[in-house]
Chain A
């Protein structure tokens, strides 16, 4: 029944600015995805196109094989939690929960209140009186309490302190274990979510730079260091992503292929955050 999200050649422009440029991407059902990109790379635009908040000038977006355009039935299968709020000023957390239930009949009110208790969120409070962190928590609870098979979480930990972020990661994994679904997390806190992800998509200037299983990315690049001349000699003809020199020592970040290290050189792994920085710099 849930066969995934498919974007085909999607281009989205805002006036002169092209936010997405010919994006084709498949998000399989039942996996946790990381949608990564620098500011302005097109992450939120891409999520907006998936839940029909934005209408791309070109290309198509389908969910479970059906176009998302003017398709209310399909849209109830997606819950998008975003930065922007569309609620009236005086809305309380409790009202937010019950409105969400109106749109998403599978909403688990008991679970929502249980989570509110765990995060110490006062459901009687008005949304406008909540801090950034607590507003994020309120929206997160809405997202996790729906039964939607597709969750799009844009900056899900915005403003959350370290304890609440940790609680969120555990809650998310528990939720996913109990109700496996497609979860797309867009965040700048790469290091923290790296191990939660099964698949990673990196956007760069409106294009898909890569889309690969997370464990492949972990071994995609290595840092090799040693005496500068030796490193230069060794790295000739290889794809060097970045290099750094410290005195006579040199470290290069290279795509890990045929890693027969010369004598005197040592290699260390490159984690997702480091790789992201190397790939998206400049």
Chain B
């Protein structure tokens, strides 16, 4: 998990996203318990209410579920839910900012497309 305190993304969203990353990478497998609010709060020195806000976000989306008296667990099918959501956010987060930066640098659309194509072919750009 990594929290960037200088980022404009609110901390609770970063918490939610890093838990999601953990689910996608397999670090937090489905039906297993994730670290507690206190564990995360202590690890990053952040207010537990902030951590809880991030976890609640994931509970509402069905990524996590609560076992009373035990803690938070990864829901079955959580990875699918996250993938679906991230694909929806992909345009806004990556494509739009890519186009914006390209516009600043005067990179034409065709040039951009060929860059992506080359990258896809051999992993090199030059």
Contact = CB atoms under 8 A, between A and B. Distances in A.
A31 B42 CA distance: 16
A31 B52 CA distance: 14
Interface in A190-218: 194-198, 214-215, 218
B121 interface: no
Contact of B46 (A31, A166, A174, A196): A196
A34 to B, nearest CB: 10
A195 B5 contact: yes
Given A177-B38, A177-B41, A271-B5, A196 B47 contact: yes
Contacts of A215: 10-12, 50, 53
B49 interface: yes
Q: Is the interface of A mostly helix, strand, loop or mixed?
A: helix
B8 interface: yes
Task: Tell which of A214, A219, A267 has the most Cβ of chain B within 10 Å.
Answer: A214
B45 A169 contact: yes
B48 interface: yes
Contact of B11 (A170, A177, A195): A195
A185 B41 CA distance: 17
Interface in B1-15: 5-8, 10-12
A106 B76 CA distance: 44
Nearest to A177: B38
Interface residues of A, number: 22
Contacts of B44: 195
Interface residues of B, number: 19
A194 B53 CA distance: 17
A32 interface: yes
Interface string A29-66: 00110000000000000000000000000000000000
B6 A173 contact: no
A166 B44 CA distance: 10
A269 interface: yes
Contacts of B10: 215, 218-219
Given A215-B10, A215-B12, A269-B7, A195 B38 contact: no
Nearest to A170: B42
B48 A177 contact: yes
A154 B66 CA distance: 38
A268 interface: yes
Nearest to A169: B45
Contacts of A32: 47
Nearest to A214: B47
A119 interface: no
Contact of B41 (A31, A173, A218): A173
A32 B5 CA distance: 19
B49 A195 contact: no
A219 B44 CA distance: 20
Nearest to A270: B8
Nearest to B49: A198
Contacts of B11: 195, 215, 218
Given A170-B45, A194-B5, A218-B10, 6 more contacts: A173-B48, A177-B38, A177-B41, A177-B48, A195-B11, A214-B47
Closest 3 CB pairs of A and B: A269-B8, A177-B38, A195-B46
6 contacts: A170-B45, A173-B42, A173-B45, A177-B37, A198-B50, A215-B12
